[in-house]
Structure 1
Amino acid sequence: MVTAVGISKQWPVKFRLMWAALRTGYAIPRTFLPDVYSDDALICFNNDAFRDDPAFRRAYARGVQSIGGEDFYHWEWRFHIGLWAAISASKLDGDFVECGVSHGFLSSAIMQHLDWDRLGKCFYLLDTFGGMDPRFVTDAEEDEGALAKSQAALDFGIYANSVESVRKNFAEWKNVRIVAGTVPETLDQVESKSVAYLHIDMNCSPPEVAALRFFWPRLTPGAFVLLDDYGQRGRDQQRLGMDAVARELGVPICTLPTGQGLLMKPAV
């Protein structure tokens, strides 16, 4: 079984070479322009001073711990957005929910940063911990290779394939509930009637749409909803699905250059 420990060392040689080429591609702009941010599908000339903040570094390090101590994600700016949304949501009434947890990179970092058990909130973490369920993959997504990509991510350890390893990652906190299974079938296991933070990252449109529809009535006014893949190229089905729900709800989705989408429950 592949675990989060030493994942990249277990990758096949071909995959390692492809990954090295990708990392080199990001490193080239930084070589000639040291102040530029170049990672995770984002090249940005603006200030990224948040990366030097000690509290941010500690939180990011906790996320890296969840994947075995080696940062093969390089998600700093995307992580920054997620951490900001969680910090803001922590000041609202309501629990936290993440649909699509994998190893728990972002969610465990959030809990470390917020001194989680002190808040009196519960963090619900929903995932199959076994990749995509084919029953909920659209024909268009299957044609685009979603199932094959999911299986490869499981094989290479990029996706968590063991709920036990994820439970171990979150063992230091009491106010957390890990729900293993497929969304939408597990949604009714979230007992909270008030949600301040919702992170959706299932790489597949039908369960993501189902999660947003399910939790919208439970969202606290001002609550934050973060869509991990909304603006990423090749994720058109997820974007279109969320756009349709957003139109029904009468709320706009903000597309972020990190590839995420962000929306808030109106305060009135």
Structure 2
Amino acid sequence: MFKRAKASIAKLKQSMARQEEHLAAQTDALHRIAAHLGDPALGPGGHRAGVPDDFDPAMYLALNRDVAAAKVDATHHFLNVGENENRHYRPNYMQDGLITIHNTSFQDDPAFQDAYARGVKATGGQDYNWHWRVHVGLWAARCAVKLPGDFVECGVNKGFLSSSIMHDLKWNDLDRTFWLLDTFAGIDTTGVSSEKNDPGAEDRNRKHFESGLYTDDVSAVRENFAEWKNVQIVVGAVPGTLDKITSEQIAFASIDMNTAPPEIAAMEFLWSRLVPGAMVVLDDFNYRGYEAQHVAMTDFAKARNTSVLSLPTGQGLLVRPPND
């Protein structure tokens, strides 16, 4: 009994010693902050000395919620505590609607860089800053290539994603077909995506053509894909062109038509052809302003006893489950 009591007392003393060390460290940090409460001399560009030129106090507080909760001055905290703790004062990634401080080392991968550069080439040199979205597409394609079946993209436009994928997978070394479907005239507002079925479709069309995002130059698209074999470019509106796809097994599909009705039609057509484990990347599933796709695809998946993984990139990922 006494031995147990002595052991408990010893553990308590060790715990108190650790707490005292922690308190001393915190007190020292507070003393250093107090010592600098008078504004340090301003450095170049009007920033306080020692503060990076791109330091944004509001962003620092947003990325370090404990500092914000403590109501500590952001700049003082960074100078006296945050810098030593390697606190983030800017995001690692801030584009395409996504801000994060998490690991983005995929961008340093030479294979990713080469594939992404090929996507940029497909647009004629326009970089849409879709790095994480393309990363998701490449990951899904790399998984899908281990399965039997061909590839499909509904909503090709200039070919950014599909060009990146074919470059990354060394498409000419594979015995597969890549089906590329698009109107190459924007959203087909005379068909299933009429203004009645998809309010706002005409306005989206206009904006995307004015911004240069959409293309109607089919010859340029064909030229872009000319370096690869086993590529089938199908011009026209979904669902009317889906029967052009003759493949009985599909391992990968990218759905990006910016309107729900043809996307659901495409999924209904492809579902029985998707092999178990097939990857389906839904480009607009979680993107702000495309709530109709989110609702429609959620219902589609639910009706088949599965679900769509929501991604912070604005995409969704659907994996074909094993057949019942």
- 1:65 to 2:121 alignment: yes
How many Å separate the matches in 2 of 1:156 and 1:136?
24
Cα offset for 1:267? 2.9
Matching residue of 2:156: 101
The answer for unaligned runs of 5 or more in structure 1 is 1-27
Q: List per-residue Cα deviations over 1:186-232 (Å, max 9, x = no partner).
A: 00000100000010000111100000010000001110011000001
How many residue pairs align between the two structures?
238
8 Å Cα contact 2:195-2:201 kept in structure 1:
no
Matching residue of 1:208: 263
Cα offset for 1:140? 6.6
Instruction: Mark the CA change 1:153 to 1:139 in structure 2 (over 3 Å): closer, same or farther.
Output: closer
Report the secondary structure of 1:252's partner residue. coil
Identity %: 50
8 Å Cα contact 1:141-1:237 kept in structure 2:
no
Matching residue of 2:107: 51
Q: TM-score, normalised by structure 2?
A: 0.70
Report the secondary structure of 1:120's partner residue. coil
How many Å separate the matches in 1 of 2:256 and 2:196?
18
Tell me which structure has the larger Cα radius of gyration: 2
Q: List per-residue Cα deviations over 1:69-126 (Å, max 9, x = no partner).
A: 231x100011100000001101100000000000000001100111002110100000
Report the secondary structure of 1:212's partner residue. helix
Q: TM-score, normalised by structure 1?
A: 0.85
Matching residue of 1:177: 232
Cα offset for 1:138? 5.5
- 1:251 to 2:306 alignment: yes
Which AA in structure 2 matches 1:175? N
Report the secondary structure of 1:222's partner residue. strand
8 Å Cα contact 1:231-1:260 kept in structure 2:
yes
Which moves more between the two structures, 81-90 or 148-157? Answer: 148-157
Which AA in structure 1 matches 2:117? A
Cα offset for 1:156? 3.1
How many Å separate the matches in 2 of 1:29 and 1:184?
46
Which AA in structure 2 matches 1:169? N
8 Å Cα contact 1:226-1:260 kept in structure 2:
yes
- Structure having greater relative contact order (Cα 8 Å, sep ≥ 6): 1
Which AA in structure 1 matches 2:153? E
Q: 5 Å matches for 1:124-203?
A: 124-134=179-189, 135-137=191-193, 139=195, 142-143=198-199, 145-203=200-258
Which AA in structure 2 matches 1:48? T
Which AA in structure 2 matches 1:220? V
Instruction: Mark the CA change 1:33 to 1:68 in structure 2 (over 3 Å): closer, same or farther.
Output: farther
8 Å Cα contact 1:141-1:204 kept in structure 2:
no
How many Å separate the matches in 2 of 1:209 and 1:267?
20
Cα offset for 1:155? 3.2
